[in-house]
Structure 1
Amino acid sequence: MTDEPGFTAEHVIRPVSRRILAAGIAGLAGATTIGALWATEPGSLPTRTQAAFAGLIVVGLTWAGLAAWTLVRRPLFAADRVIGAWLAIVFSAATAVFSGVIAGPFAALPGLLLAVVAVVLLVRARAWRDRLRSQVATLRKAGEDA
Structure 2
Amino acid sequence: MTDEPRISAEDMIEHLSPVLSPRARIRAVTALLTGTTGAAFTTTLWWSEPGPLPGHTHLAFALFTTFCLAWTCYGTLLLTRRIPLFATDRLIAAWLALTASTTTTALLTTVAAHRATAIWPILSVGTLFIAVTAVLTVRAHLRRAALRRRLHELTSEREEGSR
CA-based RMSD: 2.3
> Partner residue of 1:137?
152
Matched-pair contact (CA < 8 Å) for 2:38–2:68: yes
* Whole-angstrom CA distance in 2 between matches of 1:66 and 1:129: 18
Distance 2:107 2:48 in 1: 26
Within-5 A mapping of 1:61-80: 61-73=69-81, 74-80=83-89
Alignment partner of 1:98 out of 94, 103, 107: 107
Aligned residues: 134
- Residue 52 of structure 1: SS of its match in structure 2? helix
Distance 1:20 1:14, change over 3 A: closer
**Out of 25, 32, 36, which is 1:24 matched to?**
32
**How many Å separate the matches in 2 of 1:114 and 1:69?**
25
Deviation at 1:49, TM superposition (A): 2.5
- Corresponding position: 1:111 with 2:130: no
1:7-62 CA deviation, whole Å, 9 max, x = no partner? Answer: xxxxxx97336445423321111001121233344544333322221111101001
> Please, which of 55, 62, 78 is the counterpart of residue 47 of structure 1?
55
- 1:7: which partner in 2? none
Cα distance in 2 for partners of 1:99, 1:87 equals 18
Structure 2 counterpart of 1:57, one-letter code: T
TM-score, structure 2 normalization: 0.70
Match of 1:77, SS state, is coil
Equivalent in 137, 143, 151 of residue 122 of structure 1 = 137
Instruction: Calculate the TM-score normalised by the size of structure 1.
Output: 0.77
Identity %: 35
Q: Relative to structure 1, is the Cα distance of residues 17 and 112 closer, same or farther in structure 2, using a 3 angstrom cutoff? A: farther
* Aligned with residue 98 of structure 2, among 77, 81, 89: 89
Q: Deviations over 1:53-97 (max 9, x none)?
A: 111110100111112122233342311111211111111111111
Determine which structure has greater relative contact order: mean sequence separation of CA pairs < 8 Å that are 6+ residues apart, divided by chain length: 1
Larger mean Cα displacement after TM superposition, 13-22 or 53-62:
13-22
C-alpha separation in 1, matches of 2:131 and 2:20:
27
